[in-house]
Structure 1
Amino acid sequence: MKKLFLIGTASLALLAACGDDTETTHEEADEETETTESTDKQDEQENNKEDEKSEDEESKDTELSEDEAEEKAREYINENEDYNADDYVISMREEDDAFIAIVHAGIKADEKKGNPILYQYKVDRISGKVEETNIGSEKQDAHVSEIVSMSQEEKDEHYREIAQNPDKLDERVLDKLLLPGLHENTKEYEGRINPDDTIGKVSLKTADDPSNNEEINTPDVDEEGYFTIYFSENKLKNSSVLTIIVSGDDYNEQIFEIPINEIDNKMDYIRVH
């Protein structure tokens, strides 16, 4: 009986040991599974990041450069319009999702600059699709000059400050006159003169040589006296003063010299109404 009891006890001990080993094996297997799942999840996240990075890089790679956008615009013009793009000057402006191709009349180096915008096209950065846009449709950020809200006394003081010869300033020119300030980054400058007056000459003084006046195109004046000067082809950062000569039927030429101020990102398009 004692032998049987001993054998039975030994067998129980062995079974218990085997049970412990089985539990340990299951725990190790569970830990290994968790580790594998965690590693797989990390790998999946890293792969997703790599895919996103690749998509971003691919998107950048497929975006048109400025030169390519200009070429797209020229191709569109030659295929769809009744004029040849090579006969005109095209300048490009960059926006978030597109380039704006701005078409100006062709000029030579010795001719007047500041030529007005004739046509305007929008070129999608990704697709390269080109469509004509209305001139002015991209000018939601136009700034209405504070000169509009000034009192007549404040305006008169301003004009005396910018008049070349304030002692000979004829007050009749001041009636409807609106000549706001402008900045190095100004692309379009709107002003106003009396409806019956005319603009005789417009020029730029260069910063390096103030005695050098570079004449630019004289703007058209509408029936209410409003006019717009375009500076797309001018580098105002190299200029110091915009000179505007105004004359009326009953008085001599009145010369105004408007200083060109430092860059202000809100002053690309200056309006007075």
Structure 2
Amino acid sequence: MHKDRPLALVTGASGEIGRAISLKLAASGHDLIIHYCQNKVGAEELKMLIESMFDCKCTLLQADFSDYEHTQKKIDALKNLVIDVIIHNSGQPSFGLFQEETEEEMRRQMAISLTVPSLITKACLPKMIAQKKGKIVVITSIWGLSGSACEVTYSMVKGGQNAFVKALAKEVALSGINVNAVAPGAIHTRMLSDYSEEEIDALREDIPAGRLGKPEEVAELVTFLVSEKAAYINGQIISVNGAWYC
């Protein structure tokens, strides 16, 4: 890693939003650790792209956040690094009636979105506190603010992330650490791949802006929040949603 470049960890970096965030952070002067779960090809392609375009170091981190024992050793290894920026972007949708949701799926959602992100943060916080600076951004969801029928567990864990952000920001603000969340609305990613064309069209009509959001629009806000321009923004949940459910 370049000693004069801040180091950012981006989880879920092989997805569209994580990829866009990683590229923006590399462009703004960060070295990167990009995490992926299964999409090794996508992560390797992103690493090569970043290192070919920008004068930065990019390291891959594979971990299945739903497997706590598998992940714990990799979290412990993060304690040896000075990570300046954490972008918690990992997450997976969960559709269906709540009464039909399995306990296994509920535990999986909580591990991916709550347990592991909080443990990663806990591992990195001591060095952030010691150097009196750090930026943490959690990519939550509009459903963590308003809730969604047939996505009750997903709404629950995203709402939990929002509460985590607000509470942690109050605890670490005096140490010069900013903790915020970006809550995307309907963004053009693979998460909408289960929707039919008719459903996508209906969704667009329901959004006052008349379109889906772009991953790059989420990445722009994240990049601002980890910059010094946003030094006094802390404990906030900012939704990128085209005035949908605002």
Instruction: Give me the TM-score of the superposition, normalised by structure 1.
Output: 0.19
Q: Flag the structure with larger Rg.
A: 1
Instruction: Give me the TM-score of the superposition, normalised by structure 2.
Output: 0.20
Which structure: greater strand fraction? 1
Between the two structures, name the one with larger relative contact order (CA 8 Å, sep ≥ 6).
Answer: 2
